[in-house]
Chain A
Amino acid sequence: MSYNLHIPTTLEEALEIKRRTGGTYLAAGTVLLVNHRHQEDLIALEKIKGLSEIEDGPVHVKIGALCTFSQLESSPVIRKIPALWQASYHTAGPQIRNRATIGGNIGCFSPASDSVTSLVALDSEVELYDGSFHTVRIEDLKSVKDAIITAIIVPKRFSVSVFEKVGKRNAMSVSVINMAMASDKDKVRLAVGCVDRQVVYCKKTSEILSKHPADMKKAQESLLSEIHPINDRWGNVEYKNTVAVNLLNKLSKEVLL
């Protein structure tokens, strides 16, 4: 197992190395180094300044991409965003949370990333740098190409939010299914993980929950039409659909008071 490790100190430098070597960005490495086989070049981002802060603005919270889950878990600012806080402390176990970053969790593009499900429900945006900064809504982010994920912008407008995860054990567990729901004055947003190639924003179901919060039957039917779980080692389609509906009922009770 050998590789060239690059340790840039600025975003420009990191981008230049990426374009020159075609290497892979390395945040904490909790996924990359476990699965590491033959990447030739790794570009460690940890020496780049300014990517590890949590800024509490008037309308949104800006989270640096290199913030660890332990940082999020213990932050009073994140504590006020329940869905994200819950997703943070349900991710892996303490050692991993001390290392793993929110930007890395997004950059994996795993359908089972706990933080992503809550960020989708919270209508978050991802800030990218590819020579200049721009933002993309997280549910529209399909790949980042050469760009570096620099921050996540989470709106503060949701008065209620909740995240729930079902795993095979009580800690250090990959999600079998996870779900987050957030609500502001008149809109509900629902996101589900592990039921498609990436985390699903359930647009239709969110609309039903917003407009007809009493009609759970309609919301359930809509949810089942928007998710497409597969049979895998963690469970079969029947199980995942049943649990999705059960979680929808549970989260609705908590969010749509």
Chain B
Amino acid sequence: MKNHQTVGVSASRLDGPDKATGRALYTADIKMDGILEISLVRSPVAHALLKNIGGPKMPEGCYLFTAKDLDKNYIPSIFSEQPVLASDHIRYQGEAVAVVAAPTREQADKLASQVKLDLDVLKTVDSIEDALDEKFPKLFENGNICSSFHSDKGNVEEAFKACHLVLEGCFSTPVQIHGFMEPEAALCYIDDSGKLAIVSSTQNAYSDLYTAAVATGRDPKAITSRAATVGGGFGGKDGNTAQVYAALVTHLTGKPSRFVYTREENIRWGMKRHASQTYAKVGFSKDGHIVAADCSMLLDGGAYALLGPSVLRLGMEHFTGAYSIPNVRLDGKLLYTNHAPASAMRGFGAPQAAMAFENIINRAAAKLGINPLEIRRRNAIHKGQAGPMGGENEHEIALEEALDKFAESDFYKEMMNNPQSGCGYGIAVGMMSSGLGKHVPDTCHVVIEKCGDRYTVRTSLVDIGQGSQTVLAQIAAQALGVDICAIDMQMGDVKDNEDSGSTAASRSTFVCGNAILDAARQIKEGKTHANGICAFPEAQGEAIHTYFSFMVQGAKVKVDPESGAVDILWMHSTIDTGHVINPTLLRGQVFGGVAMSLGMTLSEQIRYSDGITMENSLANYILPTAMDVGKLTCEYVEKDEGTGPFGAKGMAELPTVAVAPAVTTAVCSLYPGLEINRIPIDRTEILKARSIL
């Protein structure tokens, strides 16, 4: 057999032709006779007690269901306190109160609008400040603190006394949406074997199955679930969106049903990135060593926890994690407010933390007269050193190598030697874990079946558009010693697959890649059917995560003097993610992640007024276009991680982390005295700084 080299090659995306020609079927594309379309009755106010639901009489073939029709009224998650349908206490504007199903969406919308809600309106908890204020209502019996985090290493107070320079600052970041092209969608029908079959735009088909089992009371064995083609997830489809409503309607009527979010529903009531308020106080020695860091983070969790407690923990862990610091105090709170629930979004708390910490490091570098790369080199974390909560980093870290490589880049040479007049430059470091973290089951199962000279590779993990099926097929082909054309990838179906958890946490390449290696080894030993498995190794000590990828981000900007608008000219990224399986897909992830965080840095935000979003369409929620992201370049250092598949580490979320502090530093470099602590950048701050010059 010829030895094909498929790992490290930019193999074409396996899903490319179907997507380019329109053959790929997204949930909304699937045709089904007699399908009911779903519309939700949503609360018009952000906070109220629900006294009664007065429905219009439903015409024949149309249905109205409320909490009374549910077997159990909760959506399984970390705290499982979110109802499928609010029955007594409404906690955000747009919260689902009832489900209407009709032959057309237009008809369902019309009937839903005729449902009368008898409400006692309560005062809205409309911000982090409100949530912490005793005078505001409690959203739950135990108050508005959903989750807390605290960790102490060393003694920060004592350490600050001996520091040469101590800097501090308060920072804030906005609510952001995922901005995927395909909105949330699910359909459901009774299949030939009598099972309730869910097909959806999802990051986790098994979780949809269990959620439906709770709501309908069905035995999980009487439910099946799979992902359709998914048009982007970014964390926003990690958990229930539309699935449970379609499952409920089909369970109760026996008829197929579908629920597709409108873009307005997506923007207002889809999951969100947590808005943050962070504080950091950092002490430096004269030569730029970080001696102590005191960091706190408050997150606007919205009305329900969802994955928020994990976001808080990860954000805290990553706050100082790229550096070896002897004294670290971390303190965080996730707060309940009357906003749409926030949950996972690419970066998972790390971009919020980096906005604070990386800006402070840049300010310290300027004050101490140390080059911004050099100050990071002096503090960079290495393999074998303890993380912020203690717990040794056991795996490969190439942050120092990435800093060195960045120093050789054209970007850095221009920044240092030949800065373009009127342009500002900034750099920042980003760090991102992979894997679900301590105490969360994190195992991937793969089946490989050999049939002649072809191999089918199956897993319940989903390719949500990031290209994992191509990368995983490359790993399988390389491991089996065959051409990639001999591999058939089948992903995202619970049928004949064990539960491999969510497509999230930058974990697919590592955990599924290793499971493929396990199965491929058995096939090469002569089996024709092999079950591969990989359990994500757990972190040591107090640490939450085991593996981290790193990057250095450069930003070159100019500012329009009339409007204060920031124009991005060049974003250069140097990535440490172990061995690169597919360079083109890596660049795609990096450029997409950079663009995503440029949005949050420059223009994207959801603003609430009395619990109602000001943004409701893509005409006023301002995503960046190709004209707004400048030149994008990327390079990588390849330090193989011994335990990763062919030396790879996860990296999907990493590129979102360091963009905001790189850009804000670049802008501030143009205006002495200007410090930007808030994103999206307020142009008024820039114009004021300019007028003082």
A residues apposed to B, CB below 8 Å? 1-2, 34, 93, 164, 166, 168-174, 176, 233, 235-236, 238-239, 242-243, 246-247, 249-250
B620 proximity list for chain A (CB < 8 A): 174, 233
CB distance from B381 to the nearest CB of A (A): 36
- The residue of chain A having its C-beta at the shortest distance from the C-beta of B617 within the complex is A34
- Asked if B603 lies at the interface with its beta carbon under 8 angstroms from chain A, I say yes
Stretch in B198-206, B621-629, B647-655 with 4+ CB within 8 Å of A: B621-629
**B609-645 interface bits toward A, Cβ cutoff 8 Å, 1 = contact, 0 = none:** 0000011000110101111100000000000000000
Question: B625 near A250 (CB under 8 angstroms)?
Answer: no
B24 proximity list for chain A (CB < 8 A): none
Query: CA separation between A198 and B564, bound complex, in Å?
Result: 25
- The residue of chain A having its C-beta at the shortest distance from the C-beta of B624 within the complex is A169
A176 proximity list for chain B (CB < 8 A): 563
- The residue of chain A having its C-beta at the shortest distance from the C-beta of B684 within the complex is A239
- Asked if B675 lies at the interface with its beta carbon under 8 angstroms from chain A, I say no
CB distance from B394 to the nearest CB of A (A): 44
In this complex, the member of A166, A168, A239, A246 whose beta carbon has the largest number of chain B beta carbons within 10 angstroms is A168
Given A233-B614, A233-B620; A93-B625 close (CB under 8 Å): yes
In this complex, the member of A164, A166, A236, A250 whose beta carbon has the largest number of chain B beta carbons within 10 angstroms is A166
- Asked if B562 lies at the interface with its beta carbon under 8 angstroms from chain A, I say yes
- The residue of chain B having its C-beta at the shortest distance from the C-beta of A166 within the complex is B563
Question: B684 near A166 (CB under 8 angstroms)?
Answer: no
Query: CA separation between A170 and B599, bound complex, in Å?
Result: 12
B614 proximity list for chain A (CB < 8 A): 233
A236 proximity list for chain B (CB < 8 A): 684
A243 proximity list for chain B (CB < 8 A): 562-564, 687
CB distance from A108 to the nearest CB of B (A): 13
Query: CA separation between A166 and B563, bound complex, in Å?
Result: 7
B563 proximity list for chain A (CB < 8 A): 166, 176, 243, 246
- Asked if B154 lies at the interface with its beta carbon under 8 angstroms from chain A, I say no
Would you list the 6 A-B pairs with minimal beta carbon distance, nearest first? A170-B627, A246-B562, A166-B563, A171-B627, A168-B622, A171-B625
- Asked if B217 lies at the interface with its beta carbon under 8 angstroms from chain A, I say no
Binding site secondary structure of chain B: loop
A1 proximity list for chain B (CB < 8 A): 106
- Asked if B539 lies at the interface with its beta carbon under 8 angstroms from chain A, I say no
**B648-684 interface bits toward A, Cβ cutoff 8 Å, 1 = contact, 0 = none:** 0000000000000000000000000000000000011
Query: CA separation between A239 and B682, bound complex, in Å?
Result: 10
Question: B687 near A239 (CB under 8 angstroms)?
Answer: yes
Given A169-B628, A173-B622, A247-B562, 8 extra CB contacts under 8 A: A93-B625, A169-B622, A170-B625, A171-B626, A174-B620, A239-B687, A243-B562, A249-B562
Query: CA separation between A2 and B565, bound complex, in Å?
Result: 41
B622 proximity list for chain A (CB < 8 A): 168-169, 173
Question: B687 near A242 (CB under 8 angstroms)?
Answer: yes
Question: B684 near A170 (CB under 8 angstroms)?
Answer: no
- Asked if B561 lies at the interface with its beta carbon under 8 angstroms from chain A, I say yes
- The residue of chain A having its C-beta at the shortest distance from the C-beta of B680 within the complex is A168
A168 proximity list for chain B (CB < 8 A): 603, 622
A235 proximity list for chain B (CB < 8 A): 683
CB distance from A178 to the nearest CB of B (A): 11
- Interface size classification for chain B: 20 to 34
Query: CA separation between A236 and B684, bound complex, in Å?
Result: 9
- The residue of chain B having its C-beta at the shortest distance from the C-beta of A1 within the complex is B106
- Asked if B498 lies at the interface with its beta carbon under 8 angstroms from chain A, I say no
Query: CA separation between A58 and B624, bound complex, in Å?
Result: 43
CB distance from A123 to the nearest CB of B (A): 25
Question: A246 near B561 (CB under 8 angstroms)?
Answer: yes
- Asked if B567 lies at the interface with its beta carbon under 8 angstroms from chain A, I say yes
Query: CA separation between A172 and B683, bound complex, in Å?
Result: 19
- The residue of chain B having its C-beta at the shortest distance from the C-beta of A250 within the complex is B562
B564 proximity list for chain A (CB < 8 A): 243
CB distance from B621 to the nearest CB of A (A): 10
- The residue of chain B having its C-beta at the shortest distance from the C-beta of A169 within the complex is B628
Query: CA separation between A2 and B105, bound complex, in Å?
Result: 13
B residues apposed to A, CB below 8 Å? 106, 560-565, 567, 602-603, 607, 614-615, 619-620, 622, 624-628, 683-684, 687
Query: CA separation between A2 and B104, bound complex, in Å?
Result: 12
In this complex, the member of A2, A246, A247, A250 whose beta carbon has the largest number of chain B beta carbons within 10 angstroms is A246
Query: CA separation between A147 and B553, bound complex, in Å?
Result: 57
CB distance from B616 to the nearest CB of A (A): 10
A34 proximity list for chain B (CB < 8 A): 619
In this complex, the member of A1, A93, A169 whose beta carbon has the largest number of chain B beta carbons within 10 angstroms is A169
Query: CA separation between A172 and B603, bound complex, in Å?
Result: 13
Query: CA separation between A246 and B626, bound complex, in Å?
Result: 27
Question: B603 near A169 (CB under 8 angstroms)?
Answer: yes
Given A1-B106, A233-B614, A233-B620; A170-B687 close (CB under 8 Å): no
- The residue of chain A having its C-beta at the shortest distance from the C-beta of B620 within the complex is A233
Question: A170 near B562 (CB under 8 angstroms)?
Answer: no
Question: A174 near B619 (CB under 8 angstroms)?
Answer: yes
- Which one, A2, A169, A242, A249, contacts B625 given CB within 8 A? A169
Question: A238 near B625 (CB under 8 angstroms)?
Answer: no
B106 proximity list for chain A (CB < 8 A): 1-2
A233 proximity list for chain B (CB < 8 A): 607, 614-615, 620
27 contacts between A and B (CB under 8 A): A34-B619, A164-B562, A166-B560, A166-B563, A166-B565, A168-B622, A169-B622, A169-B624, A169-B627, A169-B628, A171-B625, A171-B626, A171-B627, A171-B628, A174-B619, A174-B620, A176-B563, A233-B607, A233-B614, A236-B684, A239-B684, A243-B562, A243-B563, A243-B564, A243-B687, A247-B562, A249-B562
CB distance from A158 to the nearest CB of B (A): 22
Query: CA separation between A141 and B110, bound complex, in Å?
Result: 38
B603 proximity list for chain A (CB < 8 A): 168-169
- The residue of chain B having its C-beta at the shortest distance from the C-beta of A165 within the complex is B563
CB distance from A87 to the nearest CB of B (A): 17
A171 proximity list for chain B (CB < 8 A): 625-628
CB distance from A96 to the nearest CB of B (A): 11
- The residue of chain B having its C-beta at the shortest distance from the C-beta of A170 within the complex is B627
Question: B562 near A172 (CB under 8 angstroms)?
Answer: no
Query: CA separation between A239 and B627, bound complex, in Å?
Result: 24
CB distance from A36 to the nearest CB of B (A): 12
- The residue of chain B having its C-beta at the shortest distance from the C-beta of A239 within the complex is B684
Query: CA separation between A247 and B607, bound complex, in Å?
Result: 28
CB distance from A117 to the nearest CB of B (A): 16
Query: CA separation between A50 and B626, bound complex, in Å?
Result: 37
CB distance from A196 to the nearest CB of B (A): 19
B560 proximity list for chain A (CB < 8 A): 166
- The residue of chain A having its C-beta at the shortest distance from the C-beta of B602 within the complex is A169
Query: CA separation between A174 and B618, bound complex, in Å?
Result: 11
Query: CA separation between A166 and B559, bound complex, in Å?
Result: 13
Query: CA separation between A245 and B619, bound complex, in Å?
Result: 27
Query: CA separation between A239 and B561, bound complex, in Å?
Result: 13
Query: CA separation between A1 and B627, bound complex, in Å?
Result: 34
- The residue of chain A having its C-beta at the shortest distance from the C-beta of B563 within the complex is A166
B561 proximity list for chain A (CB < 8 A): 246
In this complex, the member of B562, B564, B626 whose beta carbon has the largest number of chain A beta carbons within 10 angstroms is B562
CB distance from B512 to the nearest CB of A (A): 37
Query: CA separation between A56 and B603, bound complex, in Å?
Result: 41
Question: B619 near A170 (CB under 8 angstroms)?
Answer: no
CB distance from A177 to the nearest CB of B (A): 8
Query: CA separation between A243 and B561, bound complex, in Å?
Result: 9
- The residue of chain B having its C-beta at the shortest distance from the C-beta of A164 within the complex is B562
- The residue of chain A having its C-beta at the shortest distance from the C-beta of B687 within the complex is A242
CB distance from A232 to the nearest CB of B (A): 9
- The residue of chain A having its C-beta at the shortest distance from the C-beta of B615 within the complex is A233
Question: A170 near B683 (CB under 8 angstroms)?
Answer: no
Query: CA separation between A170 and B563, bound complex, in Å?
Result: 13
B562 proximity list for chain A (CB < 8 A): 164, 166, 243, 246-247, 249-250
Query: CA separation between A243 and B562, bound complex, in Å?
Result: 6
